[in-house]
Chain A
Amino acid sequence: MTPFSYHKPASVGEAVGLADVSSRFIAGGTNLVDLMKENVVRPERLIDITGLGLNGIQATANGGVLIGALVSNAELAWASVIEQHYPLLAEAILAGASPQLRNMASTGGNLLQRTRCYYFYDTGTPCNKREPGSGCPARTGLNRIHAILGASDACVATHPSDMCVALAALEAVVHVQGRAGKRQIPFADFHRLPGDAPERDNQLAADELITALELPPPTFEDHYRYLKIRDRASYAFALVSVAAGLNLNGGVIQDARLALGGVAHKPWRDPAVERTLIGQAPTQALFTQAADALLQGAEPLAHNGFKVPLAQRAIVRALSDAALGAKARGATS
């Protein structure tokens, strides 16, 4: 690792006061320390935010919950309020990483793990995300794991989080604080598509810190599914993942959410496609139409064409499982 200085502020105000483009906040460190070991990221200062007390999970006035940025992924997945009222989120978190990493990784850090690919990690190759303007070898190189939606000439990397796919479906709100004050960012606007600036994964300014994540009142408590398709049974990134949530009444869909992981620079959602499900009976034909619509703009690369039919089938299966309901399908989470 390239040497850096270490700071442990006692307040959020002090933390954001220390931050600029040459610093990084650190909590769990599971992605950042790894990137620093590879010299992909070389901050001059690390600002340890683990003393800021952002550790609680509390009810909000409107019936939702506010999750402190430092709550670990394991604590969050196993919190009784999340298990009981947001099981889609619990299922997604437990599909990600390993038990060790989930003990370390924080809620805020999960959002801020880098959208990445193996060229991003390999400092012997160009990468527009690592060194803007240097080129993208993935577009014409090995691109089996890469994006099929929303990519650009500059970058075809995918966001690796499972948790964020569920948060997109649940329409979480990200609470941030910077030197200019506080603001709240709807989840759909938090992460970026690469465009011509793939070095930026999200909308945060250098001095802005995620302080909490807000979930709206519980929904999809029985009719949900996080389905993750990967190369091995556990502990691998998604080739394709699907977060599906349905509200059903009298055999008719009242509300629907559908988000994809492993296919784009950010969790992929299209509310217009979700609206086509509302007012309909949950049938395989309907779900197939929705899957086709969500994947209509897919532009696979040389080695990842398989992701299009894989995603299509995964969407139909996730929506079918969600329609069946967790109790009926015997889910334990």
Chain B
Amino acid sequence: MSANSPQSGEAHPLRLTINGQARSLQVYPWTTLLDLLREQLDLIGTKKGCDHGQCGACTVLRDGKRVNACLTLAVMCDGADLVTIEGLAKGDELHPLQRAFITHDAFQCGYCTPGQICSAVGLAEEGRACTREAIREQMSGNLCRCGAYSNIIAAVEEALPLMRAKANLQGGPRA
């Protein structure tokens, strides 16, 4: 190792965009994106469930794709465009998925909900789920220990065409 190589314990500069806002930060290499959001940036809508990529409560959108923030090292997100649950509504106007979750009462305790909604936004952008069965399969990375699955699937099923219509209106693929 050369003398100017990074040493253990050294913080690294990190520039990223979170919910449309450019941020310049310093992070330790072992800080996960989930801990960065919750502990350093006070974005506590993203939840820590299992912390092992098994429950999906920490799902956020990285460059438009859904990922588990708990298994993402923040230092590896330099230059990324991140969207969390806090970034989906436009002022008082809820995202179509947020509205659909309320309409269908798609939660009980609500702990998994931010991850479920971010995951469904990612699912919509992927454009691969055209049937209820496919939605169920492609939402399988998000667990709900209250068992609100049937209402969650109903909410996603209802919101998908609304998001497609909105994307067409705006001329882009983003929901």
B94 at the interface (CB under 8 A from A): no
Residues of A within 8 A of B24 (CB): none
If A3-B9, A101-B68, A104-B72 touch, does A78 touch B29 (CB 8 Å cutoff)?
Answer: no
Check if B32 sits within 8 Å of A98, measured CB to CB: no
Shortest C-beta distance, A23 to chain B (Å), equals 10
Residues of B within 8 A of A233 (CB): 137, 140
Check if A29 sits within 8 Å of B66, measured CB to CB: no
A276 at the interface (CB under 8 A from B): no
Residue of A3, A36, A98, A234 with highest tally of chain B CB at under 10 A: A98
How far, in angstroms, from A36 to B65 measured CA to CA in the complex? 24
Residues of A within 8 A of B75 (CB): 6, 48
Nearest neighbor of B12 in chain A, beta-carbon distance: A6
Residues of B within 8 A of A3 (CB): 8-9, 28-30
Residues of A within 8 A of B142 (CB): 98
Q: Which of B62, B71, B128 contacts A30 (CB 8 A)?
A: B71
Residues of B within 8 A of A78 (CB): 126, 128
Residues of A within 8 A of B140 (CB): 98-99, 233-235
B56 at the interface (CB under 8 A from A): yes
Nearest neighbor of A232 in chain B, beta-carbon distance: B140
If A6-B12, A29-B76, A34-B71 touch, does A100 touch B32 (CB 8 Å cutoff)?
Answer: no
Residue of A48, A74, A103, A233 with highest tally of chain B CB at under 10 A: A103
B122 at the interface (CB under 8 A from A): yes
Check if A5 sits within 8 Å of B8, measured CB to CB: yes
Q: How many interface residues does chain B have, given as a range?
A: 35 or more
If A34-B53, A37-B51, A234-B140 touch, does A4 touch B71 (CB 8 Å cutoff)?
Answer: no
Chain A positions 67-84 with a Cβ under 8 Å from a chain B Cβ:
74, 78
How far, in angstroms, from A265 to B140 measured CA to CA in the complex? 26
Shortest C-beta distance, A66 to chain B (Å), equals 23
Residues of B within 8 A of A101 (CB): 53, 68, 71, 141
A46 at the interface (CB under 8 A from B): yes
Q: Which of B1, B52, B137 contacts A37 (CB 8 A)?
A: B52
Residues of B within 8 A of A97 (CB): 141
B25 at the interface (CB under 8 A from A): no
Chain A positions 1-39 with a Cβ under 8 Å from a chain B Cβ:
1-7, 18, 26, 29-30, 33-34, 36-37
Residues of A within 8 A of B28 (CB): 3
A304 at the interface (CB under 8 A from B): no
Nearest neighbor of A235 in chain B, beta-carbon distance: B140
Nearest neighbor of B60 in chain A, beta-carbon distance: A100
B119 at the interface (CB under 8 A from A): yes
Residue of B53, B128, B141 with highest tally of chain A CB at under 10 A: B53
Q: Which of A7, A18, A34, A98 contacts B56 (CB 8 A)?
A: A98
Check if A1 sits within 8 Å of B30, measured CB to CB: yes
Check if A99 sits within 8 Å of B66, measured CB to CB: yes
B43 at the interface (CB under 8 A from A): no
How far, in angstroms, from A48 to B6 measured CA to CA in the complex? 13
Can you list 10 A-B pairs with a CB-CB distance of less than 8 A? A3-B8, A5-B7, A36-B30, A78-B126, A98-B56, A98-B140, A99-B119, A99-B126, A100-B122, A104-B71
List the interface of chain A (C-beta within 8 A of B).
1-7, 18, 26, 29-30, 33-34, 36-37, 44-46, 48, 50, 74, 78, 97-101, 103-104, 233-235
The 3 closest A-B pairs by CB, nearest first: A98-B141, A6-B29, A234-B140
